[in-house]
Amino acid sequence: MSKWNVRSIAAQDTIQPNLIPMVDIMFLLLLFLMLGSDMGQRELEAVILPKGIYVKEDKAPKGVVEEQRTTINVYHLQDSGVDSVQCEVYAKRETCRNPKHWRIAVRGKDFLAPDDKKFKELLKDEADIGRKKKTDKVSERKIMLRADGSAPYSLVQGVMHSCAFAGIYKIECGAARVVAESAVK
Amino acid sequence: MAGSTNVGEGSDNPVDINIVPMVDVIFCLCLFFMCSFHFKQLEGKIESWLPKDKGVFGDPVSNPILEEIRIRMMWNANSSKTNIQVNSRSVSTDNELTAVLLANINDYKRSGKTDVPAIIDAEAPVPWQSVVSVMDICKNINIEKIEFASPMPVMAPKKP
């Protein structure tokens, strides 16, 4: 028999932590994430927009119904994913001038270059939506051009050129709003 | 025993619901949303309507009178910077560009021309960010007409 009078402690299997507050918090977290996440149709590609100080807010004034528009994204291929590319120039946030690294996307559909035949056909179809008469030369359809700040101008110019050929002249250039230092002061 | 059961549980509540699977599911949902979550960037726009009666829509103008502010943007590969010229005058900073543009506008205003367009004539390798910065400055000083110079399309020779 042991010299020491040690009392054996039986493992307590009846401890029940109160999970209800944790569930409450998790529900709130879930609600926040569900409301905050964008699960809509991916019209907007991941683009690092050029920065501008005096950029107009992309919102229709009160009482005015915003016209329908087409969004054209000019983006650089990511370094991971299905259609990936390793680009050191872009990783340093410099202008990548390799045309194979760039894509033009409209509603999730990629095009290789602004002079792509299918891209021009798509623009023509979009322009037709905004034509009051079929014989009209120009279309009132708006285009939102969301081009990456590191994109070479030639690429953006090509897109504008294709829009002009399709008869679209209302082009809005997407830019990220930054707060001017003077405004902060 | 005190502390072994929570208030409203155990003896009080005859229906003992196992909430552990629910917690697991919520954890998975949280993980999914947290991974796919991204904060929305504050986006704006710069309106730049292309001219309707020029370029691909219009006929070439004979003997054009140059009433324009031409902003040339050239890429310098050595310094990795964009060189800007306003009507052949070089500018190095944004403030200088603003001052030169304002001086040009005032000159035109004095001669009674208020609707002078600013034509951005950028080289192909110039970064889009530089072009947007120039557009931004133009909008700030109320230049509404911003045009983009485009290389003229090669025309087929007319048949005799």
Task: List pLDDT tens digits, range A106-137.
Answer: 888 889 888 889 999 999 998 988 888 878 88
Q: Do A169 and B37 touch (CB under 8 A)?
A: no
Cβ–Cβ contact A89 with B under 8 A:
no
Residue B152: per-residue pLDDT:
53
In this predicted structure, the answer to whether residue A184 has a pLDDT above a threshold of 80 is: no
Q: Do A23 and B23 touch (CB under 8 A)?
A: yes
Residue B84: per-residue pLDDT:
92
- Complex ipTM above 0.90? no
Q: Which of A125-129, A140-144, B52-56 has the lowest mean pLDDT?
A: B52-56
User: Of A9-18, A51-60, B80-89, B147-156, which has the strongest mean pLDDT?
Assistant: B80-89
Pairing mode, strands A168-177 and B43-47: antiparallel
Instruction: List chain B residues with CB under 8 Å of A149.
Output: 127-129, 132
Banded model confidence at residue A170, pLDDT cuts 50, 70, 90: confident
Residue A119: per-residue pLDDT:
92
Residue B13: per-residue pLDDT:
64
Q: Which residue has the higher pLDDT, B60 or B68?
A: B68
Of B19, B20, B129, the CB nearest to A150: B129
CA distance A39 to chain B (A): 9
Measured CA to CA, the distance from residue A93 to residue B83 in angstroms comes to: 19
How is chain A split into domains, by residue range? 51-177
Per-residue pLDDT, averaged over A68-78, amounts to 87
Measured CA to CA, the distance from residue B17 to residue B114 in angstroms comes to: 77
Q: Which domains does chain B have, with CATH numbers?
A: 69-148 (3.30.420.270)
Instruction: List chain B residues with CB under 8 Å of A153.
Output: 73, 122-128, 130-131
In this predicted structure, the answer to whether residue B32 has a pLDDT above a threshold of 80 is: yes
Residue B65: per-residue pLDDT:
56
Of all residues in chain A, the one with the smallest CA distance to B55 is A164
Q: Do A27 and B26 touch (CB under 8 A)?
A: yes
- Segment (H or E) for A149: none
Of A16, A161, A173, the CB nearest to B5: A16
Mean of the per-residue pLDDT values of chain A: 80
Task: List pLDDT tens digits, range B85-115.
Answer: 998 888 988 889 999 999 888 888 888 877 7
Mark which residues 56-75 of A lie under 8 Å from B by CB: 56-58, 74
Q: Which residue has the higher pLDDT, B51 or B71?
A: B71
Instruction: Return all residues near A69 (Cβ < 8 A) that are at least 6 apart.
Output: A141, A142, A143, A144, A172
Is the C-alpha dihedral spanning A58, A164, A76, B128 positive or negative? negative
Mark which residues 99-128 of A lie under 8 Å from B by CB: none
Mark which residues 19-38 of A lie under 8 Å from B by CB: 19-20, 22-23, 26-27, 29-30, 33-34, 36-38
Cβ–Cβ contact A16 with B under 8 A:
yes
Task: List pLDDT tens digits, range B113-143.
Answer: 777 888 888 888 899 999 999 988 988 888 8
Q: Which of B71-85, B105-119, B139-153 has the lowest mean pLDDT?
A: B139-153
User: Of A33-37, A108-112, B4-8, which has the strongest mean pLDDT?
Assistant: A108-112
Of B33, B131, B137, the CB nearest to A153: B131
Q: Which residue has the higher pLDDT, A164 or B11?
A: A164
Tokens representing B47?
């309106």
Per-residue pLDDT, averaged over A57-84, amounts to 76
Task: List pLDDT tens digits, range A10-20.
Answer: 666 677 778 78
Residue A121: per-residue pLDDT:
92
Q: Which of A91-105, B37-51, B136-150 has the lowest mean pLDDT?
A: B37-51
Banded model confidence at residue B60, pLDDT cuts 50, 70, 90: low
Pairing mode, strands A139-147 and A168-177: parallel
Mean of the per-residue pLDDT values of chain B: 77
Q: Do A163 and B33 touch (CB under 8 A)?
A: no
Measured CA to CA, the distance from residue B130 to residue B134 in angstroms comes to: 6
Residue A59: per-residue pLDDT:
72
Rounded (to 5) percent helix, strand, coil in chain A: 30, 20, 50
Which pTM does this prediction carry?
0.69
In this predicted structure, the answer to whether residue B2 has a pLDDT above a threshold of 50 is: no
Per-residue pLDDT, averaged over B68-95, amounts to 88
Of all residues in chain B, the one with the smallest CA distance to A13 is B4
In this predicted structure, the answer to whether residue A70 has a pLDDT above a threshold of 70 is: yes
Of A14, A57, A171, the CB nearest to B48: A171
